[in-house]
Amino acid sequence: MPKKKKKSPGTLAENRKARHDFNIEDTIEAGIALKGTEIKSIRRGSANLKDSYAQVSKGEIFLQNMHIAPYEEGNQFNHDPRRSRKLLLHKKEILKLGDRTREIGYSIVPLKLYLKHGNCKVLLGVARGKKKYDKRQALKEKAVKRDVDREMKARY
């Protein structure tokens, strides 16, 4: 049975599929504006970054399609699980990201959601989509590396 991958302390959610589907060229850390029930649900580990992306509009940047499960004890104050959430960045950084995404083939993808000094942060990556043959090549390289590591472990 394969071992479960350990998350680093403070990491609440990770988008591992993004590294498979995209070439990450640049990363940037951003704060995220959340409601009270959202942060409680995130701290429980009920966040999912799969299929989410960031979008620049009207000088602001928003995280779209990120799922945060409703908080059980939240009653009438609960949030919409897939609402768009505002990201907190400096204006220069937002403009820079906007310029990069106007180029064909680039998008902003959240890579990791974590706590830093009690605040929830998201690690964004400026990414270019991989072609199908690039994905196959990456899988082959991963399999070869795994085989080499297995052989080295057996020898020593």
> What pLDDT digit, counting tens, does each position of 89-110 carry?
999 999 888 888 888 888 889 9
* Domain assignment present for 149: no
Q: Check: CB of residue 101 under 8 Å from CB of residue 108.
A: yes
Model confidence over 136-151: pLDDT tens digits?
A: 888 888 899 999 988 8
Model confidence over 32-76: pLDDT tens digits?
A: 988 888 888 888 888 888 888 898 888 899 999 988 888 777 677
Q: What is the DSSP letter of 77?
A: G
**Concatenated DSSP letters for 9-63?**
TTEEEE-HHHHHHEEEEEEEEEEE---HHHHHHHHTT-EE-TT-EEEEETTEEEE
- Output the average pLDDT for the chain: 84
Which residue from 123, 115, 117 is spatially nearest to 10, judged by alpha carbons? 115
* Domain assignment present for 113: yes
Q: What pLDDT score was predicted for residue 88?
A: 92
Q: What pLDDT score was predicted for residue 23?
A: 82
* Domain assignment present for 64: yes
Q: Examine the pLDDT at 154 and tell me if it is beyond 90.
A: no
Q: What pLDDT score was predicted for residue 110?
A: 93
Q: What is the CATH number of the domain that holds 29?
A: 2.40.280.10
* Domain assignment present for 98: yes
pLDDT grade for 6, boundaries at 50, 70 and 90: low
Q: Check: CB of residue 15 under 8 Å from CB of residue 52.
A: yes
Domain that holds residue 100: 12-130
Alpha-carbon span 54 to 124, nearest angstrom: 8
* Domain assignment present for 143: no
* Domain assignment present for 5: no
Q: What pLDDT score was predicted for residue 44?
A: 83
Q: What percent of the chain has pLDDT over 70?
A: 93
